[in-house]
């Protein structure tokens, strides 16, 4: 198994990033990651106003996958996510959906023990560990790790979890995969700007689907196939995610366009991943049991 220390990271996805390691399709990789705040918050006395915003959302990597070429699909199966025993959650004035309502900032340090986050003496939360940032290099330029787009990035989708396979486009040779921003607990929306931000370790298996024009990014688990889309406008993101699912069903599952639209209306859920990043992210979940 290949291993990458969290000391090897990027703040932006770019074809100019130097690979941390080179791997083969089918290889397993262990990523050690920072939390989204790069360990800057040490106590509940610290808030957003004390952060160095140039050190946000570091993604460990990138990884060069030998044989990955533009037009391929990179698959990343999440084998395991292990989180450290302390996380942090913040909210505050000017941040997130309720930023205009809040008059100050608050930080809570949350202990994690036996797969339970101890939010308070009375509130214990089961973990739903997930990866907030996972993506590849764009064809040109750079995209900050905090921004989601067709390359992946900061989608903050809670279905990017153990057992799921993430499908991402390959724009440059090697793909240059990087990931980070783990959450121990996070709900759809991430309305306060942060989940339970935590450092940890992710183990994945990478592989390639050669020259397949899937409407990416996509996620597959035991129950669902999912399409995702991000845009500054939530309505546009929703429309794009649905259009992507229609494209997938019609072009790759032999469903005609009318049946595809009807089935999405009947059995596929349209869900909001997050509404707090520079672009909002939406996913469509289609139950695989209805596919031939």
In order of their start, the domains of the chain are 2-209 (2.60.120.580), 222-290 (3.10.28.20)
223: its two tokens:
């129950």
Q: How many CB atoms lie within 10 A of CB 235?
A: 10
Nearest alpha-carbon partner for 47 in 86, 8, 103, 98: 103
Average pLDDT over residues 25-33: 98
Contact assessment for residue 246 and residue 239, using Cβ atoms and an 8 Å cutoff: no
Tokens 């396979």 belong to 165
273: left (phi over 0), alpha (psi -120 to 50) or beta: alpha
CB 89 within 8 A of CB 117: no
Please state whether beta strands 2-4 and 28-33 pair in parallel, antiparallel, or not at all (unpaired): parallel
From 192, 171, 184, 161, select the one nearest 76 (Cα to Cα). Answer: 161
Whether the pTM exceeds 0.85: the reply is yes
The closest of 243, 227, 80, 221 to 168, measured between CA atoms, is: 227
- pLDDT at residue 51 in the model: 85
Q: Give the tens place of pLDDT for each residue, 249-287.
A: 999 999 999 999 999 999 999 999 999 999 999 999 999
Confidence of residue 53 (pLDDT cuts 50, 70, 90): confident
What's the CA gap between 289 and 225, in Å, rounded? Answer: 10
**Cis amide leading into 217 (omega within 30):** yes
Residue 17 has pLDDT above 90, yes or no: yes
Distance separating alpha carbons of residues 203 and 31, to the nearest angstrom: 6
Does the pLDDT at position 185 exceed 80? yes
Q: Give the largest CA-CA distance in the chain.
A: 57
């Amino acid at each position: 198994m290949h291993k990458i220390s969290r000391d090897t990271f990027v703040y932006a996805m770019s074809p100019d990033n130097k690979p941390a390691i080179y791997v083969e399709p089918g290889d397993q990789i262990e990523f050690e990651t920072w939390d989204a705040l790069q360990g800057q918050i040490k106590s509940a006395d610290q808030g957003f106003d004390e952060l160095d915003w140039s050190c946000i959302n570091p993604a460990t990597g990138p990884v060069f996958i030998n044989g990955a070429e533009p037009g391929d699909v990179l698959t990343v199966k999440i084998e395991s996510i292990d989180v450290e025993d302390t996380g942090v959650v913040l909210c505050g004035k000017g941040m997130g959906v309720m930023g205009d309502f809040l008059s100050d900032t608050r930080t809570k340090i949350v202990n994690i023990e036996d797969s339970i986050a101890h939010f308070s003496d009375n509130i214990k939360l089961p973990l739903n560990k997930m990866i907030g940032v996972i993506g590849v290099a764009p064809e040109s330029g750079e995209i900050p790790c905090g921004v989601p787009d067709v390359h992946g990035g900061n989608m903050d989708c809670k279905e990017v979890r153990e057992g799921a396979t993430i499908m991402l486009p390959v724009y440059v040779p090697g793909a240059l995969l990087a990931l980070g921003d783990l959450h121990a607990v996070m709900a759809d929306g991430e309305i306060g700007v942060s989940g339970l931000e935590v450092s940890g370790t992710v183990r994945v298996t990478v592989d390639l689907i050669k020259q397949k024009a899937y409407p990416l990014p996509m996620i597959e688990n035991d129950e669902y196939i999912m399409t995702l889309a991000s845009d500054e406008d939530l309505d546009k993101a929703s429309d794009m995610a649905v259009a992507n699912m229609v494209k997938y069903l019609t072009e790759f599952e032999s469903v005609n366009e009318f049946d595809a639209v009807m089935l999405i209306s009947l059995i596929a859920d349209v869900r909001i991943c997050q509404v707090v990043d520079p672009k909002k992210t939406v996913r469509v979940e289609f139950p695989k049991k209805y596919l031939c």
